[in-house]
Amino acid sequence: MKLFARVLSVSMVMTVAVQGHAYTCTPGTGQVALYRDGNFSGPCTILSWGNYANAAQMGIANDSVSSVIVGPGTRALLYQDSNFSAKLNTLEGSWASSTFYASMGVNANDSASSIRVARIDGGNIATNYLGNLPNNRESYWTDEIQGLAHDDSHWYMTQNPRGDSPQLMVWPLSTNMSGYPSLRVAMPWQLNRFGCDHFGDPDLFQHPVWGGLLVVPVEGCRDPYGDMGGAKVGVVALFRAADLSFFAMDTLFAQGQGGASAEKAAWLAIHPITKTTLFSSSNVVDVNNPVVAYEVDWDDLQPNDNPAYFLWGGYGTAQLWDAEAQNYPWIYTPQGGVFSSDGRVFYLVNGYGCDTGDYIRAFDADGFSPYQGNTFSMRTASASEYGKFNFESHCSTGEEPQGMDYLDMTGRGMPFSGQLHVMLLDNDEIDQDNLYLKHYSITP
């Protein structure tokens, strides 16, 4: 069947009423409906799974798409130019029902010139930008803020303030962060004695015996075991969530084995399903430096002021693959990483300066196997000031991505919303830095 034969013209489609609105084009599973005007009005067309390289194949006027309905189990990738150049949007339907996008997001209206329509592989991704909260917050606690984690009642943050020791902070989930943290503590002596100088993007683990443990990547440490002749290594440090007191530490021994820096460890993420797999990377992720998957021995874990082996010697890897570009992307300065709550989507944010690009990338993480080489295929990436997956960042003015976290705020009655939460820092050489905490949802 030729590609254009999969385009259903408006005259072939009956008008259907859904949720009190009459939709001229109503897609089924594996289909999308493109509308010329916002709020699902004007001429429309339905496309099935396939690649549509120009407006003629799409069956709608060029640069005219203003609203979209995505059928169940379907993903639509819209591009600004013909032949799938300059991605505008990734729009997804849920597995059970269609998803309705009444608008195209910032600067993306009347701009689409090509589209790929595909099946959803893995879980749904949070690509709908909701806004910032806090927005442009400036305080002593926002200066060089770094990472974000949570439990059922609190946010946990890391900070590397200029001229001061790295800090850990706690906030109630119920606050909008207009005030000040409820607890803030400095890097403890157990880490200071090894010269450690940087906290990264953390995660939190609920231990069956010890309760909540904040799991923090730490950089710039002299090898605490003395096996590397004084070389610096990345370290993972555990803190009790209740009072942020030190609990234990071990080295991230596999960092930098592909030639990247062995002491860098800006982020870590615990797999939410296996719970024993801890992911991290050095300052570069590429074909020679994949994400490392360590196995954590939680069963025999004990509090210890001295270095203690709780990361197992065997480890796996996760190569990050860009299926559309058919390459392993070069990702410099990853700043934060996290899994969706079902473990099916892995998010990574990177960027530092104008040569690295500031992106949130979402990868399929289905089928992960510990101790093996795995491949996570990229589903989509954010854009700055374009589309629904908008991660607005201006490197020329000192803005820099930082850590991220995944927490479904639906039905919690909290001031935040969405599922994915990503920090953006506006660095200021004179005053304290400003924080934008950006929120993204699965549904529009």
Encoded amino acid at 178, one letter: S
Question: Which of 91, 119, 147 delimits the end of a domain?
Answer: 119
pLDDT at 323: 83
What SS3 string covers 377-418? Answer: EEEEECECCCECCECCCCHHHCEEEEEEEECCCCCCCCCCCC
When divided into structural domains, the chain yields a total of: 2
What's the angle, vertex CA 344, arms to CA 338 and CA 346, rounded to 5?
30
Per-residue pLDDT of the chain (444 residues; tens, 9 = 90+): 333 333 433 333 333 344 445 578 999 999 999 999 999 999 999 999 999 999 999 999 999 999 999 999 999 999 999 999 888 898 988 888 899 999 999 999 999 999 999 988 778 899 999 999 999 999 999 999 999 999 999 999 999 999 899 999 999 999 999 999 999 999 999 999 999 999 999 999 999 999 999 999 999 999 999 877 778 999 999 999 999 999 999 999 888 877 788 889 999 999 999 999 999 999 999 999 999 999 999 999 999 999 999 998 678 899 999 988 889 999 999 999 999 999 999 999 999 877 667 689 999 998 888 888 899 999 999 988 889 999 998 888 889 999 999 999 998 888 999 999 999 999 988 889 999 999 999 988
Question: Both 113 and 196 in a single domain?
Answer: no
Question: Both 227 and 368 in a single domain?
Answer: yes
* 212 vs 389: CA distance, rounded Å: 32
pLDDT at 21: 55
* 401 vs 392: CA distance, rounded Å: 10
β-pairing verdict for 99-101 and 399-406: unpaired
Question: Both 167 and 98 in a single domain?
Answer: no
Range of the domain at 70: 3-119
* 348 vs 394: CA distance, rounded Å: 18
CA trace torsion 416, 407, 246, 221 (10° rounding): -100
Question: Both 216 and 295 in a single domain?
Answer: yes
Here the tokens at position 266 are 């800006």
Question: Which of 68, 100, 119 delimits the end of a domain?
Answer: 119
Question: Both 55 and 30 in a single domain?
Answer: yes
Question: Both 356 and 274 in a single domain?
Answer: yes
- Choose among 436, 443, 400: nearest CA to 421: 436
pLDDT at 6: 37
Q: What is the side-by-side strand order in the sheet with 145-150?
A: 145-150, 154-159, 167-172, 183-186
Question: Which of 119, 142, 177 delimits the end of a domain?
Answer: 119
- Give tens-digit pLDDT for 236-252: 999 999 999 999 999 99
Question: Both 282 and 380 in a single domain?
Answer: yes
Question: Both 296 and 351 in a single domain?
Answer: yes
- What is the number of residues in the chain? 444
Question: Both 181 and 237 in a single domain?
Answer: yes
Question: Both 155 and 278 in a single domain?
Answer: yes
Question: Both 66 and 134 in a single domain?
Answer: no
Q: What are the φ/ψ torsions at residue 336 (nearest 5 degrees)?
A: -160, 150
Residue 11: CATH number of its domain? 2.60.20.10
pLDDT at 22: 59
β-pairing verdict for 311-321 and 373-381: parallel
- Measured from the Cβ of residue 298, the count of other Cβ atoms closer than 10 Å reads 15
Dihedral of CA 258/349/420/148: which sign?
A: positive
Report pTM: 0.91
Residue 310: CATH number of its domain? 2.115.10
Question: Both 141 and 105 in a single domain?
Answer: no
